[in-house]
Amino acid sequence: MSLKEEIRNYGSKEEVEADYERYKEEWRYNVEDESGIHKTGIGLRKVYFGDGLKMEYRGYDEWREKMRSEGLTDDETRAYLRMLKNQFIVMNEMNPHEEKELTLEERIKIIEKNDEKRLKLMREYHHFSEEELSQIAAELKASRERMLKDGGR
């Protein structure tokens, strides 16, 4: 099937949802990242900005050139992209990312990593002596240990 024949002009969200079983195999969708790569090579990702939800396209310029080389006009390429965006939105809604509850140990590991980053930045950009940095590191470690002992409180 040629790319031109693949373009579907969905009239409603319901049409996109009804077509889900047909096109879902054309996508490699990552639930955790809320991103997907279509068989044609373009990637879409759900991103949040201060003013709301947006779509991020990955590899768009290369994809557009590939579509041109496959014989699509600019209007057909825009229609294809619109179709893929609609498919991605439905795929995202049908495969929601569920935040899992972190264990206390997982939370401590994240805090540990953040503390290490904080200490590295303090070492690079502030005028702390090694003795002061060691004291700060000891206080951060004691805080993590108290958190572990208190069960996360």
Q: CA angle, corner 127, sides to 134 and 136, nearest 5?
A: 25
User: Which residues make Cβ contacts (< 8 Å) with residue 102, sequence separation at least 6?
Assistant: 110
How far apart are alpha carbons 58 and 98 in whole angstroms?
24
Q: CA angle, corner 17, sides to 73 and 41, nearest 5?
A: 40
pLDDT digits (tens, 9 = 90+) for 54-66: 889 999 999 999 9
CB 144, CB 111: distance < 8 Å: yes
Distance of CA 146 to the CA centre of its chain: 33
**C-alpha pair distances (Å), 58 with each of 41, 50, 70, 150:** 9, 21, 19, 44
**Higher pLDDT pick, 95 / 53:** 95
| Residue 63: Cβ within 10 Å count | 20
pLDDT digits (tens, 9 = 90+) for 27-45: 999 998 899 999 999 999 9
pTM: 0.64
How far apart are alpha carbons 86 and 67 in whole angstroms?
18
Mean pLDDT for 19-34 is 94
Mean pLDDT for 128-140 is 90
Strand partners, 36: 29, 44
